[in-house]
């Protein structure tokens, strides 16, 4: 469970209620536990402690950078369900935990968060880099108006670049 003083916004999808808010330094542990912990424990057992510190430091750096925002997606009991990251003020990606994937929530959550972000920061153009094999993400982003632009190396990985004006 996550406790924070940040303002939460409500999203209603069918009969489900979700909330989102900007992450802060107090959220580093929950972000790490949900995104990185199992992977590091499984694949880097000998270097786990060192890598854990590096990952947490990296999150702290990002959360202090005003051009990088993580919106946490929460349930009604304040439990972590995923996140939307926006870096360089317009590069977007989404992560949802397995138990809520495939239920059609990503489209509404993503669209709502981007509209709030657009209003708050006066940003009209968004970009998403998606791994070509991630067909579900491609469909989600296309369903809210993102258009395929080109294949491009992004952070050393061959990705598909999508853009939209919201």
pLDDT along the chain (166 residues), means of 10: 63 89 91 85 87 90 89 92 93 92 91 90 93 94 96 94 85
Domains in the chain: ranges and CATH:
9-165 (3.40.630.30)
Rounded-to-integer distance, Cα 84 and Cα 115, Å: 13
Tell me, letter by letter, the H, E, C secondary structure of 39-76.
HHHHHCHHHHHHHHHHHHHHHHHHHHCCCEEEEEEECC
- 113: its two tokens: 């968060």
First and final C-alpha spacing in the chain:
32
pLDDT at 42: 85
Q: Residue 60 and residue 105: Cα distance in Å, rounded?
A: 28
Residue-level pLDDT at 66:
84
Query: Within 10 Å of residue 99's Cβ, how many Cβ atoms?
Result: 8
Task: Name the pTM for this structure.
Answer: 0.86
Task: Note whether 161 and 134 are within 8 A (CB).
Answer: no
The answer to whether residues 120 and 136 touch, using CB atoms and an 8 Å cutoff, is no
CA pair distance 42, 32, nearest whole angstrom? 14
Q: How far apart are CA 27 and CA 153, in angstroms?
A: 30
What pLDDT sits at residue 5?
46
């Amino acid at each position: 469970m996550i406790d924070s003083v940040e303002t939460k916004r409500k999203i209603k999808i069918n009969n489900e209620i979700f909330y989102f808010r900007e992450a802060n330094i107090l959220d580093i542990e929950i972000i790490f536990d949900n995104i990185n912990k199992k992977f590091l424990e499984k694949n880097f057992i000998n270097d786990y402690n060192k890598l854990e510190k590096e990952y947490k430091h990296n999150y702290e750096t990002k959360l202090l950078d005003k051009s990088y925002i993580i919106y946490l997606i929460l349930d009604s009991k304040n439990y972590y369900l995923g996140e939307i990251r926006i870096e360089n003020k317009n590069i977007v990606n989404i992560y949802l935990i397995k138990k809520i994937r495939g239920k059609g929530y990503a489209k509404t959550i993503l669209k709502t968060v981007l509209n709030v972000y657009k209003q708050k920061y006066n940003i009209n153009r968004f970009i998403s880099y998606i791994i070509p094999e991630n067909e579900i993400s491609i469909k989600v982003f296309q369903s809210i108006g993102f258009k395929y632009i080109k294949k491009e190396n992004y952070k050393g990985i061959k990705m598909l670049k999508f853009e939209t004006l919201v």
